[in-house]
Amino acid sequence: MVYRAEYLWIDGAEPTPEIRSKTKILPDGTEPGVWGYDGSSTNQAPGDRSDIVLQPVFQCPDPIRGGDNVLVMCETLHTADQSPIPSNTRAVAREAEDKYGDQDMWFGLEQEYTLLDPVTGWPAGFPEHGYPRPQGPYYCGVGAVKIFGRDLVERHAEACIRAGLKISGTNAEVMPGQWEFQIGPAGTVEVGDHLWIARYLLYRLAEDEDLEVSLEAKPMKGDWNGAGMHTNFSTGKMREDYDAIIAACEALGQPGKPEEHLAAYGVGIEDRLTGAHETQRFDQFSYGVSDRGASIRIPWQVAHDKKGYIEDRRPNANADPYLVSAVMTNTVGAVLT
Ligand code: ADP
Ligand code: MN
Ligand code: MN
Ligand code: MN
């Protein structure tokens, strides 16, 4: 008979690219092949040369449809010469991995997000008028007046597991309606594939729950935490040796590097990296053991074991994981060779 392949790709939306998808119905026993779409409807091509090529690059079981159905992550290519179109950021991650992948980079991305009530536009758990109790009881909290949206969080984690994604945990965050899931450890390209598909599943499942998912970096102004995508990172050497941990931190602080990294870390960096709410200011660079007010945190356990990984706390929730993993791989890879 037939099965369904959901083709996924990243669009050209400004300022923050989003995931798109469409379904191909295929005879059993055939592979999802090259396909295409109308790039003039995704801000990726002019109307008179609108075709964009979808090149399947990674697939996993579709946990929502079940059965033999699959999700297919694609790269986007020009029709003329099959080269990556400008918004194909996976190609950037691929290049970085080709260059430095022999250092065995691992990434663990902490994707924070906010569930919004589609009627009020406010985070789930915020009353229609006024504000909930100040931050304090919500982070990793339990109980009906603290927690909003847990059904979705649970369904999403189950879907990621069934899809075979490297999801490593979930938790309620500091602001009501804010949550996190983690993907990793995974390689430079792999972490982006898995995170983009996990984002797709989250949006898709939220359709059924009367909730909207926002990756905005600072959804509520004022005394409310923003939403980030902390990037935990190690190379083979860093997992063996503390000197390599320090060398990686120093590499990230070299002249010009903080600016280069922030440019890849998402939209609204200045709004979120204020120096308050467990962040370092966007125009300062620092690293330190256990320091959640530093740009880079060395976890306590890592300082104790004298090996492990570092946490770059700067990326925004709306960052593109392919660009984050690529710039990290390139900066640290060049120094630790
Ligand atoms: P936090 O304490 O900052 O909330 P989390 O537990 O949310 O940290 O996330 C830590 C992430 O780091 C997880 O995804 C985990 O898989 C990942 N991780 C653990 N060890 C390593 C390592 N050696 N290199 C890269 N990532 C790692
Ligand atoms: Mn976390
Ligand atoms: Mn968090
Ligand atoms: Mn963290």
Q: What is the DSSP string of 87-140?
A: T-THHHHHHHHHHHGGG--EEEEEEEEEEE-TTT-SBTT--SSS--SPSSS-TT
Residues with CB under 5 A from ligand 2 (ion): 110
Question: 204: CA distance to ligand 1 center in Å?
Answer: 26
CATH number, domain of 63, equals 3.10.20.70
- pLDDT value at residue 106: 98
Rounded to whole angstroms, how far apart are CA atoms 283 and 137?
31
- pLDDT value at residue 267: 97
Do 298 and 207 reside in the same domain of the chain?
yes
pLDDT band at 130; cut points 50, 70, 90: confident
135-163 confidence digits (pLDDT tens): 999 999 999 989 999 999 999 999 999 99
Looking at ligand 1, which atom is closest to the CA of residue 239?
23
pLDDT for residue 289 is more than 90: yes
Rounded to whole angstroms, how far apart are CA atoms 292 and 277?
9
7-46 confidence digits (pLDDT tens): 999 999 999 999 999 999 999 999 999 999 999 999 999 9
Query: For the chain, how many residues are written?
Result: 337
Q: Is residue 92 part of a domain?
A: no
The overall pTM is greater than 0.85: yes
Distances (CA, A) of 222 to 72, 99, 147, 240: 40, 43, 21, 42
Mean pLDDT, residues 236-254:
98
User: Whose C-alpha lies nearest to ligand 1, atom 15?
Assistant: 108
Contacts of 178 (CB under 8 A, 6+ apart): 112, 113, 114, 115, 123, 138, 172, 225, 227
Cβ–Cβ under 8 Å, residues 123 and 114: yes
How many Cα atoms within 13 Å fall on the side-chain side of residue 85? 26
pLDDT for residue 227 is more than 90: yes
Q: Is residue 245 part of a domain?
A: yes
Q: Is residue 16 part of a domain?
A: yes
Do 259 and 196 reside in the same domain of the chain?
yes
Q: Which of 36, 64, 87 is the last residue of a domain?
A: 87
Q: Is residue 210 part of a domain?
A: yes
For residue 35, the enclosing domain spans 2-87
pLDDT band at 113; cut points 50, 70, 90: very high
Q: Is residue 123 part of a domain?
A: yes
pLDDT for residue 282 is more than 90: yes
Q: Which of 69, 87, 105 is the last residue of a domain?
A: 87
Amino acid residing at 84: P
pLDDT for residue 333 is more than 90: yes
Question: 314: CA distance to ligand 2 center in Å?
Answer: 13
pLDDT for residue 222 is more than 90: no
166-219 confidence digits (pLDDT tens): 999 999 999 999 999 999 999 999 999 999 999 999 999 999 998 999 999 999
User: Whose C-alpha lies nearest to ligand 1, atom 17?
Assistant: 108
Residues with CB under 5 A from ligand 3 (ion): 180
Token reading at 268: 């609204």
Residues with CB under 6 A from ligand 1: 106-108, 110, 168-169, 182, 184-185, 230, 232-234, 239, 308-309, 311
Overall number of domains in the chain: 2
Picking from 283, 293, 174, the residue whose alpha carbon sits closest to that of residue 226 is 174
Element (H, E) at 216: none
pLDDT for residue 100 is more than 90: yes
Do 177 and 309 reside in the same domain of the chain?
yes
Most informative mutation of 171, 181, 182 for ligand 1 (most atoms within 8 A of CB): 182
Question: 180: CA distance to ligand 2 center in Å?
Answer: 7
Do 310 and 277 reside in the same domain of the chain?
yes
- pLDDT value at residue 66: 98
Q: Please, what is the Cα angle at 273 between 268 and 246, to 5 degrees?
A: 125
- pLDDT value at residue 128: 83
Do 272 and 124 reside in the same domain of the chain?
yes
Write the DSSP symbol of residue 210: T
Do 144 and 101 reside in the same domain of the chain?
yes
Place of tokens 């939403």: 227
- pLDDT value at residue 179: 98
Question: 25: CA distance to ligand 3 center in Å?
Answer: 39
Question: 165: CA distance to ligand 2 center in Å?
Answer: 17
